[in-house]
Structures are given as structure tokens and as C-alpha cells.
Structure 1
Amino acid sequence: MQSLRQDIVEITGQHLAMEQVVSVSRSGSKVTLSPDAIERMVRGRSILEEAIARGERIYGATTSVGPKTTASISQANTAEFSRRLLRTHNAGHGPLAAKDVTRATVLNLLNSLASGTTGARPVLAERLVDALNADRPIAMHLWGSMGQSDMSSMADVALAVFDDIDLEAGEALALLNSSAMSTAVAVLSFVDLHRLLQLSTLVGALSMEGYAANPSTVSEIALRSRPFDGLVRHGSAIRKYIEGSYILSAGGPRNLQDPLCFRSMALIHGAAEDSLAFSRQQIGRELNASQGNPVISLEHGSLAAVANFDMITLCMALDVMRLAFAPVFTSSTERLAKLVDTTWSGLAIGLIEEDGIGAPGFNGVALFHKSITSEARLLTAPLAGELASSSHSNGVMDRASLAALGGRRGLELAQLGTSIVAMELIVAAQAAELRGRTPLGNVTGQLFAFARQTIPFAAAGQRPPNVQPLLEQLQSNRDAVDCMIAASN
């Protein structure tokens, strides 16, 4: 897929990229259909209509669906069958999707129709283009998908966009038999988690300075001894962030062997990077893969009954992505615990000098950090082994991938993770200033100054700062943070 202008994304049905999903869903980029996509849709519709004219039994086009597959649908009843099919699957309730998730879902559905493999007419794709470009609000529920097509959520979208037109044979199923919402949350959660991982490494580097940790674990010798791409990426990033730091000089590190939460940080974050590389590959492929049943082959001019609605590949990619963050977050918790504990850090108890009152200082922050890290760990549990039902639709739908849930948990994990990293930044900055060793690294020094814009040093008798202002600053000044992260390249 190519851009006609920077703010217009051309939909081909074959080349949708994750970055373009983010651009449309979060930056409001406009979309347009490529001429080739329109031709493919016309061709796909022609193949489907020719098969119908030959009297072929086609799931969802000439037959009903699920337990009523044996029931035939006459062409005179197609429009009414389509209306009922959408409405009977419109069972969604619970929380509504955020605007970016809804826009990403509509974009993914558009790209699927544009492939021509669903048999949907170009007019349906053009409706979706208009909805995106007009920034039309669509109420789409997040609950209801088992990961075998997001039927309930897609019914919300279809009824909002197409309720005033008659759908032709097979089109209602083409709209329902899509995992556009699962794929949308997969893309957005990946993007958020991948950026969070880079931020975690940057903050972890400042924690190293707050602890006066030994940087030998990110030396060239150390990184070359284990040839993993992620390790080299994050180890090199840490080295770049702390360039010029006191811990690189003689007498800088306090210990030969630091706790593993410091010593293994590059290994842990590197392993997460490698896991995310796999997830990115799978999610990227899913964006342009057929998710419908049946599927139309434009090359062979025929149809095939398939199980392309099974999102096991997507679910596995999301499982790997989320699971990678369990050690990232737990090691962050351990770094906080070590920094606030005078036995480990050599600093004041709770990182605040005693004023005779005996307040615990940052120990409460460490306990809260441990609490949300425990919650985050629960979100990393794999879902691919779950089975929702073995009896639905007369036993035909006898397994489920739960990909939609995996994506939603990814978004929630990114939100919790941002708080986890922000609290580590507060503690790392306090420890670094309390230790009083200078200079800080070229980039970690910038991060320290960035943090101090909203979180002041807690002197004797003062309470630790609240994390909320820092969270807001991380969100409102994303460009500044991204520039610091980019310094590692």
C-alpha cells in the first residue's frame, strides 16, 4: 500500500501495514480505494454470482449458517435473510471500543473487502471509506468475540454503516465473518507495548545510575558473547543512554555482581524484543490474510470452504507478545525494591532522609508497584489453550482462539505497564539525586531533567510525588521521550 499524500492512505486489500493502521486510527489520516482494489472486488463478485447461477451450495450465500446450514436461501429472500443475519448476531454489550480501536476495525474490514476474496461489492467498501473520512462515530462493543470471527462487534459496525441498504448474497456473512476487531486491537496493543519496551530500557538505565550498578553487562564483550538480536539492541541502547555517566568510570560501580534485576536487564528486555519481532511478523501478515469463509480465488475463478476465521495464529502472536512482558515488569519491581531498601542501595531508608518522624518514604511506592505488577502478570497468561465451547452450532464450532481477548489484554497491559515504568522513573530519579554522583549519562541525564519537570526531589519530611503528573507528561510530551529513545540508534 502506498500513500497518495502523507495524510491519505490508499487501500489495496493486499498491502496494509501496521504503521498505516495507526495513522488512520490515531492520527485521523484519510483513506481511498485503489483502482486495482475496485477491479478485484468486481471480479470477486462476478465469480460469486456465477457460482450462484450454477446452483452451487455456498455457505452464507445460498445456504443459511451455523446449525441451519442445510436451509437454502432463495435469492428473493436474500435481503431479508441478510438483515436478520446481522441482527441475530448483534448481541454485543458491555464496554464500547475506544475511537482508535473502532477506526482501526473499520479500516481492517475495508482492507478485507478490498481484497476481492469475500465477494462483496465495491459499494460496501466505498461506504466504509466515507465513514472513515467523515470520522463517523460508530458504537462498537468489545465483548462477545470468541476469536472465531468478531461477529458481535462486526454486527455493530455493519448495522451502523449498511442498515439502510439491501445486501446481496454472501455480503452479510462477509461483514460478520471478519476478525477485523481482533486484528485492530492486536496492532494497537503491539505498537503500545513495543514503545513501552523501549521506554522501559531507557528508565532502567537511569535505575542503574541510581543504584550505581556495574555496566559491564552491556559491554561489547558481554553482548558479543550471546548473539541474540534483542540483547544486542537493548544492551547497545543502555550503553548509549549511559554514555558519559559516572558509572563508566573507575570507582563508579559499587559491586562486581549486582542483583539480576540490574545485571540481566539487557537479556530480559532483549528476549522481549525478539518475542515482539515474531509477533509483529504474524500480526502484519494477518492484516492482509483472508479471514472469511468461503474464500474466493480470483486466480482460479472458484470458491473454497475454509476455516480462515480461526484466529489461532493471531492469538499465539498475542500470547507471545504479552508473555514477554512478565519478566520485564517483575524485574522492574525488583529494581524498585532494591533501590528503596538501604541494605541493597546504601542510601537512606525509603530514599528519604530521616527527619525524626519515621515516615517510610518510597517504600509505599514500591508496594503499590508490586501490586500492579502482579495484576499485569495475570494479563500475560497465554489464552491459546482455552476452549470456550464444544457444543455451539451442533458441535461445528468446537474450538475458539480467544484472539479478541488476547488483544484487549494487550491494550490493558500497555496501560498498566506505563504506570509500572513511570513509578520506576520516579524512584530512579530520587535515588540518582540522593546518591549525588555525577555526571549522569548523556541521555539518562535528559531523562532525569524531563522527570524533574513534574516530579520534584523529595527532601526530608516530604512525601514521595504522585505518579499521575508524570504519566500525563509522558503522554503529552511523547515526541521528547521518543527523541531520547531514538538516541540509541
Structure 2
Amino acid sequence: MESLLISGDQLKVDDVVAVAFGRPVALDPAVLPGMERSRAAVERLVAEGRVVYGITTGFGRFKDRLISPDEVRQLQLNLVRSHAVGVGPDLPETAVRAMMLARANTLALGYSGARPAIVRLLLDMLNAGLTPRIPAQGSLGASGDLAPLAHLALVVIGEGEARLNGRLMPGGEALAAAGLRPIALEAKEGLALLNGTAQMVGMGALLVRRAVNLALTADVVACLSLEALHGTDRAYDARVHALRPHPRQINCADFLRRGLAGSRFLRADDPNNVQDAYTLRCVPQVHGAVRDSIAYAQWVIDIELNTVNDNPIIFVDEAGTIDVISAGNFHGEPVALAMDYAALGLTELGNMSERRCARLVDADSNGGVLPMFLTEQGGLQSGLMMAHYSAAALASENKVLAHPSSADTIPTSANVEDHVSMGAAAVRHAGQILEHVETIVGIELLLAAQGVDFRCRAMGLTPAALGEGTAVAYRLLREQVPFLAEDVALYPLIEAARRVVAEGVIKEAVEKRLNLT
């Protein structure tokens, strides 16, 4: 596999996903002059004894404590050790790899004063499959993701813990086993490693890619539910959506029409049943708005991946004049707000799916089109009654998780850092919601396929009479989960359906079938 060149300004969400799952990386030689120029500026600042935050001063509330030139290395070492205060469960290795890539890309821009050797070591660690152990919690999202990045920096200096070939070991031992050597930090380099948005942006990139898959898959599953419930696609008419021209609403409606093309399960015009319930009729409006929230998150992440987001920032002009500015690019508010918005959108996606689940199992709600709880022997058999319970439980939990993290703030560092973004928490909560919705949509897929089988019997049809896209989704589910003629333990089947949704096989296969790739 060709290595991804790290240049500081070209990284995209899909690049982060690829590297998180193993694509090799290399430093673009074109970035070396800029990095070396900012590094030389740091060395000049130290040699001249200039007062510069985090280089010749302490940190946070200690910003007014001067540090002598012979203590600047110890200052950086102390910073890394003292800030490694992460708690909670370990981040997945994919998330750690995404963080490492994001931090390396920022340092490569050449405004942070870090030597190229620092970035090369991060990239070498990625290529060796060496991932620091980073607890998930501890970041306030300003000044950046300090605590988690401190755990990353510990391994850079040969301390902390890391995983190599699936085994957790001391950081220095892991580096040695990978044929790598730790680095002794020079002035500014500890701060350059710690002070930025790498956790929230790296994890945000992974979340965005999963969310794109989930949104499209939820569209397909909603269509399958429409067929199982003998609904109509009249509400998806292009003329309707042209009159309310939200682009992603229009795109969603177009995708639904294409996915349902050729279906013989849909209801023809019926004067006694002219419209469906909102969770069927309003899929383009709601799912389209969810697509908006995901697209906004991707827009923000694509920008943030290629930013200088630490402090202070070092400018060196053509004449060699140095200007160091203490500012706030480490503040994670753009990412926090975007992740909260995505979390809210995903929650609504789950709410829609859960309500369709309820309609699929409730004969009173679906007009008797399907048997109660999707079983022929109700009473003796409970059928799929309880599958909906799990969907309802997750949808309700999401409503708590969707409370915006960015609406909260808490002052720290003796009130110097008096407003924080909680961006890392926003990403983690959005990730929890996403996982819940993957399961909810998986349950809907399970129920819709069961409903389609009952409709086939009633109408003398086969699943081949489904729409162009829904036939694909039905087939992929049936490869993993059979029609349920009697009660069985459902949890393995729910997990199988969740995997069909989460692993992207429906999205990929439907896009191929509809010539969308």
C-alpha cells in the first residue's frame, strides 16, 4: 500500500480512516524547511533569554514564572509527566492512531517549533503498529486535549505504556521492540505535542465516516420498512422536494426513489389510505436534516485536521524576524459544536428508526398488514416483541447523551483557563449515540425483513419483487439471519443485524447496485 505523505495541509477524513486501519505514512520532504525554520527560532528565543510562554515560562497559572535556559528541557519533561492524568477506559487503537496522525500533521505545518524528528517518530510508530495506551477521559477541550496527548507524549520519551502486536508493555520497551528510540524533548516540544485538538479531531474523523455509512444505510432500511408496511412512496416525489430545496433533503428523496424502484410491495393510490405516518412519509425531511448535521461535522473536521492548533504559535518572516503569539487555536469549540450537532442528528435518526420498529411489531398501528409482534402464534410465541424493547431503550438513552457537551464549561488552572469546550466529551458522546443507532437500525432491518416475508406469503410474491436497493439489503440480512418461525434467543441475531449495518456492507452493495459509486 502506498504511503500517505504528511504535509500538514492535505489531510482529509478518509485519509485518517485509512491510516487508523493500517495505511503507512511518510513525512513529505517539502515540509522540512518550514519545520527547521521554526525550530531554529525556538533555539534563538532560548539563547536570547526572551520571555515566551511555555518556552521560558511555566504553564497555565504559572505563566508568569520564568524558567532559566538550563531548565527548559526539564520543563518540557515535567510538563509531559505532570499532565498524564487520563482516566477511564482505554481508547481503541484506531482512535489512538487517528490522534497520532492528527498531531503529526499539525506539527508538520512548521509553526510549532518541534523538530522533524518528533514527527518522524510519530509516523514510525504508526508504521510499526505501536500505539500508546491512552485513557479516554481527562480532556476539557482547551487548552486542547492535554491529558490524552500527554499519554501519547510519554511514549515518545520512552515512558508510559504502549501496545505492540496486541501486547501492552512499558513505552520504552515497546519502542525498542519496534526498533525505535525515544526522543529527549527540547524547548517547546512537550508543549507542541500536548497543546492541540488531536483527540477530538482524530476521533471525530472516524465518527464522521461511520455516520455517513449509517445515514445511507438507515435510508435503505427505512425503505424496506415502507415495503413491509405496505406504504406509498408518493411523498418522495421529486416535485414535492423541489418546493423545499434543502439540498440533502432532495438528495435523500432521490436516493429513496432509486432504492424503491421496481418495488411491487408499495401501496397504489388508495382513497381510504392517502398518507403514511410521519416516520415513513417524512424520511427525506428528517433523514435529510441528519445528513446536514453529518456534512457539517465533516466540513469542520476536514478544516481542523490541517490547522495549527497549539500555543504559542511561532512566525518567522523572510528576513528572519521572529514573532511569537500566544492565542487560542487550541480551543475546541468548532469541533465541540459540530460533534454536538452530529450527536443530535444521529439521535433523531435513531428516534425515527425506533418508531418504525414500533409500527412493524404493532398490528394495531400498522392496520393489520403484519401480525402482532411478527409471529403467527401470538400468545404461545412472543415473536419479536422484545427486539423493539432494546431499540426503545437505546433511543431513550440517546436522548440523555444528546445533551450538548459544548453547553457546559468549567474553569480550571486557577481560573486562568476559564472557558473550555468539552470537545472530547462531545465526540465520545456522539460515538456512543452512533453505536446505539447502528443497533437500532439493525433491529429495524431484522423486523422489516421479517415483515417482508409475511407480506410475501400474503401477496404471493418473493423478495425479488422488492425495490432495486431494498432487495440488496434484504438479501444481505438473510445471509446472516433466517426468517423466525418460532421463538429463539434473539441477542445473537440482533448482533448479526447490527454488524450488517455497521460494517457498511449494505451501503457499499446498494451504491454499487444503483450505480452510485
Q: TM-score, normalised by structure 1?
A: 0.93
Say whether residues 1:367 and 2:389 are aligned partners: yes
Say whether residues 1:352 and 2:375 are aligned partners: yes
Give distance in 2, aligned partners of 1:341 and 1:216. 23
384 and 206 in structure 1: CA distance in 2 versus 1, 3 angstrom threshold = same
Contact 2:111/2:315 (8 A) holds in 1: yes
2:471 aligns to what?
Answer: 445
Q: Secondary structure, in 3 states, of the residue corresponding to 1:142?
A: strand
1:13 aligns to what?
Answer: 8
Contact 2:227/2:266 (8 A) holds in 1: no
95 and 107 in structure 1: CA distance in 2 versus 1, 3 angstrom threshold = same
2:432 corresponds, among 400, 403, 412, to 412
Say whether residues 1:203 and 2:221 are aligned partners: yes
1:3 aligns to what?
Answer: none
307 and 240 in structure 1: CA distance in 2 versus 1, 3 angstrom threshold = same
1:29 aligns to what?
Answer: 23
Within 5 A, what are the aligned runs for 1:320-469?
Answer: 320-345=341-366, 346=368, 347-354=370-377, 357-389=379-411, 392-436=412-456, 437=459, 438=461, 439-459=465-485, 466-469=493-496
Say whether residues 1:177 and 2:195 are aligned partners: yes
**More divergent stretch after superposition (267-276 vs 455-464):** 455-464
1:470 corresponds, among 487, 497, 500, to 497
311 and 260 in structure 1: CA distance in 2 versus 1, 3 angstrom threshold = same
1:106 aligns to what?
Answer: 100
Percent sequence identity is 28
Contact 2:441/2:498 (8 A) holds in 1: no
482 and 137 in structure 1: CA distance in 2 versus 1, 3 angstrom threshold = same
2:55 corresponds, among 61, 74, 90, to 61
Residue type of the alignment partner of 1:471? R
Within 5 A, what are the aligned runs for 1:278-317?
Answer: 278-299=296-317, 301-317=322-338
- Give the unaligned 5+ runs of structure 2: 159-181
Give distance in 1, aligned partners of 2:488 and 2:106. 57
Residue type of the alignment partner of 2:386? G
Give distance in 2, aligned partners of 1:323 and 1:486. 30
**More divergent stretch after superposition (49-58 vs 131-140):** 49-58
Cα deviation, 1:176-230, whole Å, max 9, x if unaligned, reads 1122111111111111112111110011110000011110111122221211111
Residue type of the alignment partner of 1:382? P
- Give the unaligned 5+ runs of structure 1: 1-5
Give distance in 2, aligned partners of 1:248 and 1:359. 29
Residue type of the alignment partner of 2:498? L
2:339 aligns to what?
Answer: 318
Q: Secondary structure, in 3 states, of the residue corresponding to 1:387?
A: coil
* Offset at residue 460 of structure 1 (A): 5.6
Say whether residues 1:227 and 2:245 are aligned partners: yes
* Offset at residue 301 of structure 1 (A): 4.0
**More divergent stretch after superposition (463-472 vs 395-404):** 463-472
Cα deviation, 1:388-442, whole Å, max 9, x if unaligned, reads 23xx223111111000011111222221111111000011011111122442112
Give distance in 1, aligned partners of 2:396 and 2:272. 30
Contact 1:354/1:461 (8 A) holds in 2: no
* Offset at residue 249 of structure 1 (A): 6.8
Q: Secondary structure, in 3 states, of the residue corresponding to 1:85?
A: helix
Residue type of the alignment partner of 2:183? I
Give distance in 1, aligned partners of 2:97 and 2:377. 53
Residue type of the alignment partner of 1:351? L
Q: Secondary structure, in 3 states, of the residue corresponding to 1:195?
A: helix
Q: Secondary structure, in 3 states, of the residue corresponding to 1:296?
A: strand
Residue type of the alignment partner of 1:470? A
* Offset at residue 481 of structure 1 (A): 4.2
* Offset at residue 479 of structure 1 (A): 4.3
254 and 30 in structure 1: CA distance in 2 versus 1, 3 angstrom threshold = farther
**Matched length:** 479
Residue type of the alignment partner of 1:92? G
